[in-house]
């Protein structure tokens, strides 16, 4: 076998060299293969062939001009019927290089700009999560029953046969996009949710590297060590929204992370959510229910949550089926049509942490997949003395603490941020600060978490490192203004009704 390979390598040498030394080389191979090792001889032949073609291309000897019997030189033709082998090899190399460059450019451009490349199949999604959690098993099944299309049937709507016409059209689109110069609109500039949405990804990745890339790189690195990375947010905070937006747009996100566990989505509408993020058309009314019907009325009204789902949809539009990201609705499946009292509501709201933890365990950890969890920061604060029940972080860290990594953003009032910066000892921001390795971890948790909350959250002895695994330091003000909420008058009426229902009775 190795002898045949060696003979093949000899054949790769220029014909003149091969004719002159080929037999000798093969003979030496036979003589020395047990002495030197066959791999060494093979690699020597490879190097020799390359050297002959690259460095000795000019050493081709032209045949001597024969002379006639009377001493007069004769003429011969030195033209070859085919180009020399080394010329062909150089040409092949250059052509390969050019094609590789072109494909790289096309891939780069298509991955970031082309929204309509869909490779959906029936097996794109795993089965939707079953609602087996005990907390709402007490609720009659028919209350939650809602006709939803089977995922496989829905996904067929996005299938596209790769006919020659479609391929030609896609090639035209790719070429057109390669040479387009106008800026790509941001998802936030698109029409309101529910309209027929044709999204493109943000243009942030097309630009050159900026300081946020360091943060997203650090967050992505955590997925190499942990299966679940949880980002705690202040509901409605723009900076938190920007962090998760940039994270999912990281080039490696879709390759590494299969699920986004999203608190601002009612799990009753999981099928709608699946349809939307997979690229199918979803009506405005159906889609809005995903974030309007959460157990905390109005908590997810800010447009950033809709924008985030748009981003995931845009991300999926250019992913292969195996790389598509699924958003798992992490809010309990409350059906507000059947909530008539505070007690009805408490059946769902009092077990939100357990629901999220159960969902992550069932759909992510048991499948050995990775997930980004986006929940309110309070669900991640460990050693929180105000909360009576264990939260998401505490539940998930019970069994296998290494698989779960909690991250929150910290900031502070202008006059106190100097202390934070001094403890962090970092220059570039935003930055991810692992609490066990940074001075910020030794700061009292109560001074930096939940300042606006009137109740005492942590004992004085509790440090930031006891509460979360890492903090994001952006260096900005403590709280940025909230985005305007949903001002739909009909929804406002319904929201008021819900708020009235859940208000504690005196």
Partner 1 sequence: MKENLEKHLPMAPATLHILLALAGEDMHGYGIMQEVSRQSEGRYQLGPGTLYDNLQKLMANGMVDETDGPAGADPRRKYYRLAAFGRKVLSAEVTRLEGVVQQARLHLTMKPRRS
Binding residues for partner 1, per CB under 8 A? 17, 20-21, 23-25, 27-29, 31-32, 36, 40-41, 43-49, 51-52, 56, 59
- Tokens encoding 130: 């079953």
Handedness of CA 199, 202, 207, 213 (dihedral sign): negative
How far apart (Å, rounded) are the C-alpha atoms in residues 424 and 420?
6
Q: Residue 147 phi/psi, 5° resolution? A: -65, 120
How far apart (Å, rounded) are the C-alpha atoms in residues 403 and 405?
7
Contact 442, 422 (CB under 8 A): no
How far apart (Å, rounded) are the C-alpha atoms in residues 127 and 120?
15
Task: Pick the closer one to partner 1 by CB: 26 or 148.
Answer: 26
Query: What is the bridge-based pairing of β-strands 326-331 and 404-410?
Result: unpaired
| Least CB distance to partner 1 at residue 34 (A) | 14
- Alpha carbon dihedral 63, 67, 72, 78, in 10-degree steps, equals -20
| Least CB distance to partner 1 at residue 320 (A) | 42
| Least CB distance to partner 1 at residue 90 (A) | 18
Q: Residue 233 is inside which H or E element, if any?
A: strand 228-233
Task: Pick the closer one to partner 1 by CB: 25 or 215.
Answer: 25
| Least CB distance to partner 1 at residue 38 (A) | 11
Buried b (16+ CB within 10 A) or exposed e, 273-286: bbbbbbbbebeeeb
Task: Pick the closer one to partner 1 by CB: 6 or 119.
Answer: 6
Task: Pick the closer one to partner 1 by CB: 13 or 495.
Answer: 13
| Least CB distance to partner 1 at residue 431 (A) | 41
Q: Report in angstroms the alpha-carbon separations of 82 from 78, 85, 90, 349, 459.
A: 12, 8, 14, 79, 85
| Least CB distance to partner 1 at residue 480 (A) | 57
Task: Pick the closer one to partner 1 by CB: 38 or 417.
Answer: 38
Task: Pick the closer one to partner 1 by CB: 54 or 152.
Answer: 54
Task: Pick the closer one to partner 1 by CB: 53 or 235.
Answer: 53
How far apart (Å, rounded) are the C-alpha atoms in residues 27 and 501?
93
Task: Pick the closer one to partner 1 by CB: 33 or 198.
Answer: 33
Task: Pick the closer one to partner 1 by CB: 41 or 435.
Answer: 41
Contact 10, 18 (CB under 8 A): yes
| Least CB distance to partner 1 at residue 5 (A) | 13
**Phi-psi region at 71: left, alpha or beta (left = phi > 0; alpha = psi -120 to 50):** left
| Least CB distance to partner 1 at residue 73 (A) | 23
| Least CB distance to partner 1 at residue 80 (A) | 20
CA nearest 134: which of 365, 375, 358, 396? 358
| Least CB distance to partner 1 at residue 78 (A) | 18
| Least CB distance to partner 1 at residue 50 (A) | 10
DSSP letter for each residue of 400-417: -GGGEEEEEEE---GGGH
Task: Pick the closer one to partner 1 by CB: 41 or 261.
Answer: 41
| Least CB distance to partner 1 at residue 24 (A) | 5
Q: Report in angstroms the alpha-carbon separations of 418 from 50, 142, 229, 426, 450.
A: 61, 56, 28, 12, 19
| Least CB distance to partner 1 at residue 76 (A) | 21
Q: How many CA atoms lie within 13 A of 173 on its CB side?
A: 14
CB atoms within 10 A of CB 311: 26
Task: Pick the closer one to partner 1 by CB: 28 or 385.
Answer: 28
- Tokens encoding 289: 């229910």
Task: Pick the closer one to partner 1 by CB: 58 or 70.
Answer: 58
CA nearest 271: which of 159, 147, 164, 368? 147
DSSP letter for each residue of 295-345: SSTTTT-SHHHHHHHHHHHHHHHTS-GGG--EEEEEE----GGG--SHHHH
Task: Pick the closer one to partner 1 by CB: 55 or 425.
Answer: 55
């Amino acid at each position: 076998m190795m002898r045949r390979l060696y003979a093949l390598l000899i054949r790769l040498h220029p014909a003149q060299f091969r004719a002159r030394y080929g037999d000798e080389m093969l003979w030496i191979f036979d003589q020395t293969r047990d002495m030197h090792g066959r791999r060494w001889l093979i690699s020597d032949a490879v190097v020799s062939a390359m050297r002959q073609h690259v460095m000795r291309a000019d050493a081709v000897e032209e045949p001597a001009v024969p002379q006639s019997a009377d001493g007069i030189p004769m003429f011969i033709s030195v033209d070859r019927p085919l180009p020399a082998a080394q010329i062909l090899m150089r040409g092949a190399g250059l052509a390969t290089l050019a094609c590789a460059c072109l494909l790289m450019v096309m891939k780069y451009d298509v991955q970031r700009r082309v929204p309509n490349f869909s490779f959906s199949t029936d097996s794109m999604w795993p089965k939707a999560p079953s609602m087996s959690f005990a907390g709402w098993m007490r609720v009659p099944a028919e209350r939650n029953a809602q006709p939803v299309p089977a995922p496989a049937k829905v996904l067929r709507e996005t299938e596209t046969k790769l006919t020659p016409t479609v391929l030609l059209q896609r090639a035209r689109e790719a070429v057109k996009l390669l040479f387009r110069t106008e800026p790509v609109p941001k998802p936030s500039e698109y029409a309101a949710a529910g309209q027929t949405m044709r999204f493109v990804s943000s243009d942030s990745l097309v630009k050159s590297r900026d300081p946020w890339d360091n943060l997203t790189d650090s967050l992505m690195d955590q997925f190499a060590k942990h299966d679940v990375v949880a980002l705690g947010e202040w509901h409605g905070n723009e900076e938190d929204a920007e962090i998760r937006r940039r994270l999912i747009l990281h080039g490696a996100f879709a390759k590494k992370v299969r699920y986004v566990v999203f608190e601002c989505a009612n799990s009753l509408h999981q099928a709608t959510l699946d349809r939307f993020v997979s690229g199918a058309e979803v009506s405005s009314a159906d889609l809005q229910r995903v974030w309007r019907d959460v157990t905390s009325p109005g908590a997810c009204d800010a447009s950033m949550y809709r924008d985030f789902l748009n981003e995931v949809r845009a991300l999926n539009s250019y992913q292969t089926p195996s790389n598509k990201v699924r958003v798992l609705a992490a809010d309990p499946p409350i059906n507000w049509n059947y909530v008539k009292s505070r007690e009805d509501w408490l059946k769902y709201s009092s077990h939100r942490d357990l629901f999220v933890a159960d969902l992550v365990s069932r759909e992510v950890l048991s499948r050995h997949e990775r997930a980004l969890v986006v929940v309110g920061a309070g669900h991640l604060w460990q050693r929180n003395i105000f909360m009576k029940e264990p939260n998401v972080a505490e539940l998930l860290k019970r069994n296998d603490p290494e698989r779960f990594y909690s991250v929150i953003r910290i900031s502070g009032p202008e006059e106190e941020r100097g202390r934070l910066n001094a403890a962090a000892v970092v220059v570039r921001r935003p930055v991810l600060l692992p609490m066990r390795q940074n001075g910020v971890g030794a700061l009292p948790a109560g001074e930096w978490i939940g300042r606006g909350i009137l109740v005492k959250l942590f004992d004085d002895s509790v440090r930031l490192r006891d509460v979360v695994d890492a903090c994001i330091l952006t260096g900005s003000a403590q709280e940025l203004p909230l985005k305007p909420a949903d001002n739909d008058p009909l929804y406002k009426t319904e929201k008021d009704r819900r708020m009235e229902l859940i208000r504690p009775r005196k």
